[in-house]
Amino acid sequence: MKFSIMRDRLLDGLNDVMKAVSSKTTIPILTGIKIDISSEGVTLTGSDADITIQTFIPVEEDGKEIVQVKEPGSIVLQARMFNEIIRKLPTNEVVVEVSEQLQTRIQSGKSDFHLIGSDASEYPLLPDISADRQITLPADLLKTIIRETVFAVSTTESRPVLTGVKWEIKDNSLVCIATDSHRLAQRKVTLEQLPSEEMNVVIPGKSLTELSKILSDSPHPVDIFMTNQQVLFKTPDVLFFSRLLEGNYPDTSRLIPEESSTIVTINGKALLQGIDRASLLAREDRNNVVRFSTIDSGTVEISSNSPEIGKVEEEIQIDSFEGEELKISFSAKYMMDALKAIDGQEVVIQFTGAMRPFTIRSIHDDAILQLILPVRTY
């Protein structure tokens, strides 16, 4: 195989795929990146087994010739080495040529590198994608969805399936759920075009965090394909594959209480700041517990008391109050995470007693739902 390419454009592509390459991999071939040359252009693939990033450099872009394909083919080259070499080449034109024994020659100006490659057939195969299991979301919305759910995934490996976010397509909407069994975040999105069947995958939280780093804040559409092995997010520049988590995600629908005995409407930002202050005196090692109690129909009190440190009380105005009086304790960290995800709007908090989980939603819509389990205090 042989091709020549503009160095700047190749570096851009390498930058994207290098994000997936990790030096800590058990499969030796994954320390390399795969380069596929076809008559349409150059495809680069990098992977750390969990996530795989693929990018395509076309022969022509904006009327400029970028790649000259002399002979198609595939090769796997050491990722770090190849990246460093390309970065330091003297001129903007790079010629890459692979001889029969996987000897790769990289030429630019007067410098001439010989690199030993690996057989491209050793590289893992990416799954076949079928269009009937496809949904499309704008990039900025996708990013928001990730931000609103991924914080709630479990960080311990005791139940691996909880380290992921469940994506379920059902009744013309996409529902994303994350829980670590103490709290739950749920986001609903109504979809315009629906796939032909119901789908249900659990995507690792780490992969989603990586994905959101790559996504831009523009409303460009991102196509999402789900297969049995992997999920693919397809943006104009890159293809992002992630493995899925095995196992059955617990049924969360029964956790969300349907009726409530106390409903409080409050400004999310004011509450967030109040809890932030109260948590200063809450002890880290005791789950950061703060107490929330209703005083009258116009105010609630946030308080925290650590005998060894001191105590704090703060009154916050509320917009409306319905139902029974209530005193409840919960983790300040979970509450703040939830309020940050809802983004400072007016929120409705629905309680069903001091020992039952409560939900937080935005007043405007019920796309986002946050559920928190209270803490028992005496």
Partner 1 sequence: MENIEDLLQLQPIVTKQLQTIFEKNRVGHAYIFEGSKGTGTEELMLFFVRLILCENPRLNVPCETCRNCKRILSGNHPNLHQLYPDGQFIKVDAIDTLLSEMSKTGLEAGRKVYVIHSAERLNVKSANKLLKFLEEPEGNVTAIFLTENINAIIPTIRSRCQHIKFRDIPRNILIEKLTESGITQSMAATVSMLTHNVEEAFALAKDESFAQARKTVLKLVEATFKNVHEAMLIIHEDWLPQFKEKEQVEIALDLMLFAFRDIVSIKANSEVMCTYPDTLSVFKDAALRTSFNTLSTQLQAILTARRQLKSNMNKTLMMEQLILNLQEVKSFV
Interacting residue ranges for partner 1, rule: CB under 8 A = 26-29, 47, 49-50, 52, 121-125, 127, 157, 160-161, 163, 204, 228-230, 243-247
Tell me which long-range contacts 142-147 makes (C-beta under 8 A, separation of at least 24): 142/212, 142/215, 142/222, 142/224, 142/233, 143/212, 143/215, 143/217, 145/176, 145/187, 145/189, 146/208, 146/209, 146/211, 146/212, 147/212, 147/341
Question: In the bound complex, what is the minimum distance in angstroms from residue 140's beta carbon to partner 1?
Answer: 28
Q: Please answer whether residues 16 and 238 qualify as being in contact, where contact means their C-beta atoms are separated by less than 8 angstroms.
A: yes
Q: Which is nearer to partner 1, 154 or 303 (CB)?
A: 154
What stretch of H or E contains 206?
A: helix 205-214
Question: In the bound complex, what is the minimum distance in angstroms from residue 205's beta carbon to partner 1?
Answer: 12
Question: In the bound complex, what is the minimum distance in angstroms from residue 333's beta carbon to partner 1?
Answer: 24
First CA to last CA distance, the chain: 73
The C-alpha angle 178, 179, 181, rounded to 5 degrees, equals 170
The alpha carbon of residue 251 and the mean position of all alpha carbons in its chain are separated, in whole angstroms, by 22
Q: Which is nearer to partner 1, 159 or 286 (CB)?
A: 159
Q: Which is nearer to partner 1, 47 or 186 (CB)?
A: 47
Q: Which is nearer to partner 1, 125 or 365 (CB)?
A: 125
Q: Please answer whether residues 83 and 18 qualify as being in contact, where contact means their C-beta atoms are separated by less than 8 angstroms.
A: yes
Q: Which is nearer to partner 1, 228 or 253 (CB)?
A: 228
Closest listed residue to residue 57, CA positions, set 12, 122, 24: 12
Closest listed residue to residue 68, CA positions, set 37, 111, 43: 37
Question: In the bound complex, what is the minimum distance in angstroms from residue 115's beta carbon to partner 1?
Answer: 18
Question: In the bound complex, what is the minimum distance in angstroms from residue 42's beta carbon to partner 1?
Answer: 23
Tell me how long the chain is. Answer: 378
Question: In the bound complex, what is the minimum distance in angstroms from residue 296's beta carbon to partner 1?
Answer: 50
Q: Which is nearer to partner 1, 77 or 264 (CB)?
A: 77
Residue 255: both structure tokens together = 């956790």
Question: In the bound complex, what is the minimum distance in angstroms from residue 267's beta carbon to partner 1?
Answer: 41
Q: Which is nearer to partner 1, 5 or 120 (CB)?
A: 120
Q: Which is nearer to partner 1, 157 or 284 (CB)?
A: 157
Residue 9: both structure tokens together = 């454009």
Residue 259: both structure tokens together = 């009726």
Q: What residues pair up with 5 in beta bridges, in sequence order?
A: 67, 94
Question: In the bound complex, what is the minimum distance in angstroms from residue 125's beta carbon to partner 1?
Answer: 5
